[in-house]
Amino acid sequence: MDFDRLIPIIRRLALEAGDRIMEVYNGPDFEVKSKSDASPVTEADEAADAIISAGLRAAFPDVVLITEEQAESHALTAQTFFIVDPLDGTKEFVQRRGDFTVNIAYVENGVPVRGVVYAPAHGRLCYTRADGQAVEETGALDKAAAGASRALSVSKPDNAGLMVVASKSHRDAATDDYIGKYACKDMKSAGSSLKFCLVATGEADLYPRLGRTMEWDTAAGDAVLRGAGGHVVRFDDHTPLAYGKPGWDNPFFIAYAPGVELKA
């Protein structure tokens, strides 16, 4: 893959999809439908999916594309592919809470090596540069060209007082019990893949997820966190979270900054 060509394209597509999402978000009431797994979907999900899918297929016709909104893609298994969640955090979107993102990742040999996470309601855009370094863009988010950005680097955690981030919509007793094994200085809640970005920016040290997720929920945030020096590992054995699994289901996982003393 030519990463110098890839990054401007996925950055632009994320911004274009974000604009369409915000048109729906800021408009009158929108229809919320239920998918076969009872999760919600809106016209914003579908419109963003169409924008990103068309753009990726035009630019990279030979690369397998997996998206949340295209059910027929779920049966595919591959080790090198694009994986997209056009609107991660639909529950946050429906409740107009702002914590939703556009996620686009490129996975190579089971590893999310490049990705972009865009939170349009917050105006936050994090992505990996062609060289793999994660950055957050601080400029005007011009679609035609990347603006000023700052390199992202994970925190140097203090295990006597960790900053923890957890899911806003999927928090449960098991997660709270696990977090209780650590000495926590403070805790914040966030939706969607923003939690990965908070670890990547150093705003949090630890993000445990003891609940069901799919690869499209995590791949882009995983790529950004890796590009900032962080890790995402399986909860059960602390081995790196891999992609291209049959069915695209993730196990429970932990995202963290090196130096956090992981608990069993």
DSSP secondary structure, the chain, as one string: --HHHHHHHHHHHHHHHHHHHHHHHTSS---EEE-TTS-EEEHHHHHHHHHHHHHHHHH-TTSEEEETT-GGGGG---SSEEEEEEEE-HHHHHTT----EEEEEEEETTEEEEEEEEETTTTEEEEE-TTS-EEEE-S---SSS---EEE-------TTSEEEEEESSS--HHHHHHHTTS-EEEEEEE-TTHHHHHHHTTS-SEEEE-S-EEHHHHHHHHHHHHHTT-EEEETTT-PBP-S--GGGEEPPEEEE-TT-----
Residue 203 sits at φ, ψ, to 5 deg, of: -75, -15
Q: Where are the domains of the chain?
A: 3-151, 162-256
Parallel, antiparallel, or unpaired: how do β-strands 184-190 and 206-209 relate?
unpaired
Parallel, antiparallel, or unpaired: how do β-strands 162-167 and 184-190 relate?
parallel
Contact 114/106 with Cβ under 8 angstroms?
Answer: yes
Find, among 192, 50, 213, 48, the residue nearest to 122 by Cα: 192
pLDDT tens by residue, 185-218: 999 888 889 999 999 999 999 999 999 999 999 9
Fold: same for 3-151 and 162-256? no
CATH code, 162-256: 3.40.190.80
Residue 9, class by beta-carbon neighbours within 10 Å (0-12 exposed, 13-18 middle, 19+ buried)?
A: middle
Question: Does 3.30.540.10 match the CATH number of domain 3-151?
Answer: yes
pLDDT at 38: 47
**Residues of the chain under the 50 pLDDT cut:** 36, 38
d(CA 222, CA 193) in angstroms, rounded, equals 9
d(CA 30, CA 178) in angstroms, rounded, equals 37
pLDDT at 33: 62
pLDDT at 239: 97
Contact 255/163 with Cβ under 8 angstroms?
Answer: no
How big is the chain, counted in residues?
264
pLDDT at 27: 82
Euclidean distance between the first and the last CA atom of the chain, given in angstroms as a whole number:
37
Residue 190, class by beta-carbon neighbours within 10 Å (0-12 exposed, 13-18 middle, 19+ buried)?
A: buried
pLDDT at 96: 82
pLDDT at 250: 96
d(CA 115, CA 107) in angstroms, rounded, equals 9
CA distances (Å), origin 123, targets 19, 51, 139, 180: 11, 19, 10, 32
Give CA 81 to chain center in angstroms.
Answer: 16
